[in-house]
C-alpha cells in the first residue's frame, strides 16, 4: 500500500473520531449510551471515508496443480485387423480409470484415425492412421504445459507427416503401448505404386512399383501388372536380407479414353502370413487432350510461378508463360488466357484476344496500366487513383457459379490493389470481397462474369503467391488453394452452357479416400437456390445394390459423403424432388485397404519415439509397469502455486453491511432513548 494512502487513512480515522466526539461528547446532552453511539458514529463515518479513498489490498491464495496425462488411442482398422481391439480397450480402461493415476494426474483422452477427437466411443473403423493430426492438435492444446502422452497404437502410419517429427515439437515424453505381434515373419509386399492420375490417349504412361521383403532367406517371385484378365507386364525379382527392396519401372499404353483400372501383384511366398499386401489396384483416367492456358506477363513475379504450379497440379492442364508480343501469333492454341498486370505492351495482344473471343482471367496490381485495361474492354471500369492499398479476402458464401469448398481465406495475407473502386458494366458475381481490418467494404476482390459468349474473371490485387504459402501453413499441403484455382480455371476454360444442376466429383477413388459428391442447384434465373430438395440415388453396377440419400446444404453447395462404400463401379443420379431437374454421373471405387497392409506392430519406430522424447515404451501386457513408471517419475509432481490478487476495498461487500448495521443500531438506540 502506498504511503499516501496510509496518510489518508490516518487522517480519515482522526476526522471520523473528531466528528463522533463532537456530536456525542462535546457539549452533548448526557446519556448513558453516548460512548456506544460515539463508537457507532465513528464506524459509520470512517467506513464511508474508506469507500471514498478506496485503498487496495493484496490477497494471496494457494492451490495445487496436477500435471496433465494424455491418453491417445489409435482408432484405425489396423488395430482390429491385427486382432488387438479387445486388448486395446482393456488397456485404455485400466489406465484411464486407475485410481492412483487419477489422484496424481488430470487425465484427458483422445482417439485418432482419419481425424482427432475427444474419446467418447471406440470403433476401430477409421480407414487411415493420421498420427500427425493428433500431434498437431496436441501441440496446440498443451504447448508449454506438462503433459506426457500414453500412445496406445500399433505404430503403423498411413496418412500425414511422420509422427517421429511431429511428436518432438512440444518436447513432451511419450509412453507408447505397443499393440500387435512383435514376432518377425517372412513377408513379401507391395510397398508403393506410383502412377499419374491422368494419361493421354495413344501415349505411354509410366508406372513405378516398389517391392519390399522382410526375411532372412533369399526368395524369388514374379511381379505382374494386369488389366482384367490380360497380363500387360511381368518381371521376376529376387530379394534377400542384403537386398530387401527393388524398384521396378515400366510404361503402359493408353489406348482407350476413360477410366482404366489395373492390378499390380507380387506372387506370395509359400505359407506367407499376410497376402493382402501382395496386390494393389490403381486407376488412370485417359483423356484425349490437355487444356492449354497462356499466362501472359511483361515481367517476372512470384505470382506467375504460383499460378503455374497451382493450375498444373491438375495434369489435364498445361500453362505456358509468354511475353505479350510473343503471344499474339500463338493465341489460337489456348482455351484460356491469363493477363497478368497488363501494361502498355499488351495493346496488340488485347486486341487479338477480343477478335478471337477468348476467355480471360485478368490480374491487376501495382504495375498495371489501368488506362489500357479500361480501354481494351467494355465490361468493367477501374477508377485510377495511382494509390495502392492492401485488402484481405472474404469468401462470398452465396457465390453460385461453381462449387467452392475446403478453403475459407480466414487468415490469408492481403493483396496489394488499386485504391479506386471497380465498376462493372455487365452482371458479375463476386467470389471474394475486399476487407480492411476485418471489415467487409462490399467491394469485389475476385469476380467472374459472362458477356458476349465469353467467360471472364478479374482479380484486383497482386501477391497471390502468399495465399499458396498460407495454404501450406494451414493444412501442410497446397491442395486447398490449388483446388480453388483449379475450379476457377475449369470454369473459365470451358464454354459449356450453364446448367441449373451442376455436379462436382472425381472419376475414380481409392477405397480409403474420402468420397464426396457436391452439387449446386440454380433457379430459373440462374440464382443459387438454398432451399432445393436434392437426393442422390446411386447403384453398385457389380452387385446391383442401390441406395438413395439426401444431400445436405453446406455454404453454397449441397454435399454428401459416401466414404465407406464397397469397391466397384457406380452410377448415380442427383435429382431435385420438387422439380424435374436431374444430373447423372459414374465413378469407380478401387479396392485397396491400406490398414490391412501391415503384418506387425512397428516396434522399432515406437521404441525410437519413446527414446527420442525421454519416455519409455511398453508392450500390451505391461500396463501395470506403465502405471508404476508414471507414478515414480519425479518429473510429474503436483505443484503448489500461489495466486496474488489486488482487491479494492469498494469490492468488499461486508463493509457496506457494517455501515448499514452501524447506522441502524445508532438510529434504534437514539429512538429508544428519545433522542430523536
- If you average pLDDT over residues 433-458, what whole number do you get? 90
Q: Which three cell numbers, joined as nine digits, stand for 363?
A: 490480374
Which residue from 378, 447, 386 is spatially nearest to 417, judged by alpha carbons? 386
How many whole angstroms separate alpha carbon 295 and alpha carbon 612?
48
Alpha carbons within 13 A on the beta-carbon side of 95: 35
Q: Model confidence at 647, in pLDDT bands (50, 70, 90)?
A: confident
Residue 477 reports pLDDT greater than 90: no
* pLDDT-wise least confident of 387-391, 496-500, 580-584: 496-500
- If you average pLDDT over residues 267-278, what whole number do you get? 85
Span 555-605, pLDDT tens digits = 778 999 998 888 999 999 999 998 889 999 999 998 887 777 777 888 889
* Residue-level pLDDT at 31: 66
* Residue-level pLDDT at 539: 94
Q: Which residues are CB-contacts of 88 (< 8 A; sequence separation ≥ 6)?
A: 73, 74, 79, 122, 124, 152, 179, 620
Span 302-319, pLDDT tens digits = 999 999 999 998 888 999
- Other C-beta atoms lying within 10 Å of the C-beta of residue 390: 13
Alpha carbon distance, N-terminus to C-terminus of the chain? 41
* Residue-level pLDDT at 96: 93
* Residue-level pLDDT at 489: 92
CATH T-level topology, domain 187-287: Immunoglobulin-like (2.60.40)
Are 516 and 560 in contact by the 8 Å Cβ rule? The answer is yes
The domain over range 291-493 is classified in CATH as 3.40.50.880? yes
* pLDDT-wise least confident of 32-36, 80-84, 611-615: 32-36
Residue 535 reports pLDDT greater than 70: yes
* Residue-level pLDDT at 26: 72
Are 60 and 644 in contact by the 8 Å Cβ rule? The answer is yes
Tell me if 187-287 shares its fold with 501-592: yes
Residue 676 reports pLDDT greater than 70: no
Q: Model confidence at 661, in pLDDT bands (50, 70, 90)?
A: confident
Q: Give the β-pairing of 508-510 and 582-590.
A: parallel
Residue 499 reports pLDDT greater than 90: no
Residue 622, Cβ density class (10 Å: 0-12 exposed, 13-18 middle, ≥19 buried)? middle
* Residue-level pLDDT at 30: 60
Residue 405 reports pLDDT greater than 80: no
Are 50 and 131 in contact by the 8 Å Cβ rule? The answer is no
Q: Which three cell numbers, joined as nine digits, stand for 403?
A: 462449387
CATH T-level topology, domain 501-592: Immunoglobulin-like (2.60.40)
Q: Model confidence at 88, in pLDDT bands (50, 70, 90)?
A: very high
The overall pTM is greater than 0.95 = no
Task: Give domain limits for the chain.
Answer: 3-62+644-672, 67-182+600-637, 187-287, 291-493, 501-592
* Residue-level pLDDT at 160: 81
Average pLDDT, the chain: 88
Going 157 to 158 to 163 to 164, the CA torsion angle's sign is positive
Span 129-163, pLDDT tens digits = 899 889 988 988 888 888 999 999 999 888 888 88
* Residue-level pLDDT at 556: 76
The CATH architecture of the domain made up of 67-182+600-637 is 3-Layer(aba) Sandwich (3.40)
* pLDDT-wise least confident of 152-161, 261-270, 635-644: 635-644
Which residue from 76, 77, 285, 267 is spatially nearest to 190, judged by alpha carbons? 267
Amino acid at each position: 500500500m502506498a504511503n499516501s494512502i496510509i496518510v489518508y487513512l490516518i487522517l480519515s480515522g482522526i476526522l471520523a473520531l473528531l466528528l463522533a466526539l463532537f456530536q456525542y461528547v462535546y457539549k452533548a446532552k448526557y446519556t448513558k449510551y453516548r460512548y456506544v453511539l460515539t463508537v457507532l458514529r465513528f464506524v459509520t463515518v470512517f467506513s464511508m471515508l474508506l469507500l471514498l479513498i478506496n485503498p487496495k489490498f493484496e490477497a494471496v491464495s494457494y492451490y495445487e496443480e496436477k500435471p496433465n496425462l494424455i491418453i491417445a488411442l489409435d482408432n484405425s482398422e489396423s488395430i482390429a485387423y491385427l486382432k488387438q481391439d479387445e486388448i486395446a480397450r482393456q488397456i485404455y480402461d485400466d489406465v484411464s480409470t486407475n485410481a492412483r493415476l487419477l489422484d496424481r494426474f488430470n487425465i484427458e483422452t483422445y482417439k485418432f484415425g482419419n481425424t482427432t477427437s475427444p474419446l467418447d466411443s471406440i470403433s476401430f473403423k477409421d480407414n487411415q492412421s493420421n498420427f500427425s493430426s493428433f500431434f498437431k492438435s496436441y501441440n496446440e492444446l498443451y504447448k508449454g504445459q506438462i503433459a506426457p502422452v500414453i500412445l496406445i497404437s500399433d505404430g503403423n502410419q498411413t496418412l500425414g507427416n511422420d509422427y517421429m517429427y511431429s511428436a518432438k515439437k512440444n518436447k513432451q515424453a511419450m509412453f507408447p503401448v505397443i499393440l500387435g505381434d512383435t514376432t518377425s515373419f517372412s513377408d513379401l509386399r507391395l510397398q508403393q505404386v506410383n502412377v499419374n492420375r491422368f494419361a493421354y490417349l495413344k501415349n505411354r504412361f509410366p508406372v513405378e512399383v516398389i517391392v519390399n521383403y522382410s526375411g532372412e532367406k533369399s526368395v524369388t517371385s514374379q511381379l505382374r501388372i494386369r488389366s482384367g484378365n490380360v497380363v500387360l507386364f511381368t518381371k521376376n525379382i529376387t530379394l534377400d536380407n542384403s537386398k530387401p527392396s527393388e524398384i521396378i519401372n515400366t510404361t503402359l499404353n493408353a489406348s482407350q479414353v476413360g477410366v482404366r483400372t489395373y492390378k499390380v501383384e507380387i506372387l506370395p511366398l509359400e505359407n506367407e502370413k499376410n497376402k493382402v499386401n501382395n496386390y494393389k489396384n490403381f486407376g488412370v483416367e485417359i483423356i484425349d487432350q490437355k487444356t492449354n492456358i497462356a499466362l501472359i506477363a511483361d515481367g517476372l513475379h512470384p505470382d506467375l510461378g504460383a499460378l503455374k504450379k497451382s493450375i498444373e497440379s491438375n495434369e489435364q492442364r498445361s500453362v505456358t508463360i509468354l511475353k505479350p508480343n510473343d503471344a499474339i501469333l500463338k493465341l489460337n492454341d489456348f482455351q484460356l488466357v491469363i493477363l497478368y498486370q497488363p501494361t502498355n505492351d499488351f495493346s496488340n495482344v488485347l486486341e487479338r484476344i477480343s477478335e478471337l473471343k477468348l476467355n480471360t482471367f485478368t490480374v491487376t496490381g501495382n504495375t498495371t496500366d489501368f488506362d489500357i485495361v479500361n480501354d481494351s474492354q467494355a465490361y468493367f471500369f477501374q477508377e485510377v487513383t495511382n494509390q495502392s492499398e492492401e485488402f484481405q479476402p472474404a469468401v462470398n458464401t452465396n457465390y453460385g457459379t461453381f462449387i467452392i469448398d475446403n478453403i475459407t481465406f480466414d487468415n490469408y495475407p492481403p493483396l496489394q490493389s488499386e485504391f479506386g473502386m471497380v465498376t462493372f458494366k455487365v452482371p458479375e458475381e463476386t467470389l471474394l470481397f475486399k476487407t480492411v481490418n476485418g471489415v467487409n467494404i462490399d467491394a469485389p476482390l475476385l469476380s467472374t462474369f459472362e458477356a458476349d459468349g465469353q467467360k471472364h474473371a478479374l482479380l484486383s490485387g497482386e501477391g497471390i503467391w502468399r495465399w499458396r504459402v498460407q495454404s501450406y501453413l494451414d493444412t501442410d499441403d497446397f491442395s486447398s488453394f490449388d483446388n480453388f484455382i483449379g475450379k476457377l480455371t475449369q470454369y473459365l476454360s470451358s464454354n459449356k452452357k450453364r446448367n441449373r444442376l451442376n455436379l462436382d466429383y472425381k472419376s475414380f477413388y481409392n477405397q480409403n479416400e474420402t468420397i464426396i459428391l457436391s452439387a449446386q442447384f440454380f433457379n430459373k434465373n440462374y440464382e443459387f437456390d438454398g432451399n432445393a430438395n436434392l437426393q442422390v440415388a446411386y447403384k453398385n453396377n457389380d452387385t446391383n445394390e442401390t441406395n438413395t440419400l439426401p444431400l445436405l446444404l453446406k455454404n453454397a453447395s449441397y454435399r454428401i459423403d459416401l466414404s465407406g462404400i464397397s469397391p466397384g463401379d457406380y452410377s448415380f443420379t442427383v435429382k431435385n424432388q420438387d422439380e424435374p431437374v436431374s444430373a447423372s454421373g459414374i465413378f469407380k471405387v478401387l479396392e485397396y485397404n491400406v490398414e490391412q497392409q501391415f503384418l506387425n506392430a512397428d516396434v522399432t519406430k515406437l521404441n525410437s519415439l519413446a527414446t527420442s522424447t525421454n519416455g519409455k515404451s511398453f508392450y500390451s501386457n505391461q500396463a501395470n509397469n506403465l502405471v508404476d513408471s508414471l507414478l515414480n517419475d519425479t518429473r510429474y509432481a503436483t505443484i503448489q502455486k500461489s495466486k496474488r490478487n489486488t482487491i479494492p476495498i469498494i469490492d468488499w461487500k461486508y463493509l457496506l453491511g457494517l455501515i448499514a448495521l452501524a447506522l441502524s443500531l445508532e438510529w434504534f438506540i437514539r429512538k429508544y432513548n428519545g433522542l430523536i
